[in-house]
Amino acid sequence: MKLYYSPGACSLSPHIALHEAGLAFEPVLASTKSHQLQDGTDYYGINPLGYVPMLELDDGTRLREGPAILQYIADLVPLKNLAPANGTMPRYRLQEWLTFIGTELHKGFSPLFNPATPEEYKGAVKARLASRYTWLDGELADKQYLMGEHFSVADGYLFTITNWAKPMAMDLSPYPNVTAWHARVGARPAVQEAMKAEGLLK
């Protein structure tokens, strides 16, 4: 398998999942700025949408969209408990979390990365994100991880997106359960390994 990624982007999430799963894969750096691979290949020729992540299977099949890739990885190694079994209510809870993270937080941060976004609008964006993190803090009050006692691929996704708070000058100190959870996930060996591979940790 090949994982097309860009350091610190949302592709860190499947990068974490692959390390958690213990699966062999080839990381392929795809710049989100130049949209080229390191050998000069036009990344648009691989993914016409131009963004990461993309997972390429050994038979050449390509899978886009982080939440779909995460569930695919988890289902390859069911004994790792990275996702509940298909058809169960806990699996739908996982999908609920992946959807919330993708639509409310991932896309919520997007305007902050756009230099064309007016400053006054950025304030409104941060206020909306703050309301979501306030709710999330309550959800994490009595949990080790999003799904309870066990790490899931949703935790890797939320960790990745929450990493964006600091460079976007968003203060997470009002959310002690979120910050404790973030530290807990960040200390996991697979998370450390993925971050080191992307040059995010020394």
- pLDDT for the residue numbered 33: 86
- CATH assignment at residue 54: 3.40.30.10
pLDDT digits (tens, 9 = 90+) for 170-189: 999 999 999 999 999 999 99
What's the CA gap between 183 and 35, in Å, rounded?
Answer: 32
Is residue 116 located within the same domain as residue 163? yes
Is residue 53 located within the same domain as residue 97? no
Is residue 121 located within the same domain as residue 149? yes
User: How many CB atoms are located within 10 Å of the residue 27 CB?
Assistant: 16
Is residue 72 located within the same domain as residue 7? yes
Is residue 175 located within the same domain as residue 128? yes
| pTM for this predicted structure | 0.96
pLDDT digits (tens, 9 = 90+) for 22-78: 999 999 999 888 899 999 999 999 999 999 999 999 999 999 999 999 999 999 999
* Residue 202 located in a structural domain: no
Query: What residues does 29 pair with on adjacent strands?
Result: 5
* Residue 134 located in a structural domain: yes
* Residue 42 located in a structural domain: yes
* Number of domain units in the chain: 2
- CATH assignment at residue 167: 1.20.1050.10
Range of the domain at 119: 89-188
Based on its alpha-carbon atoms, the radius of gyration of the chain, rounded to whole angstroms, reads 17
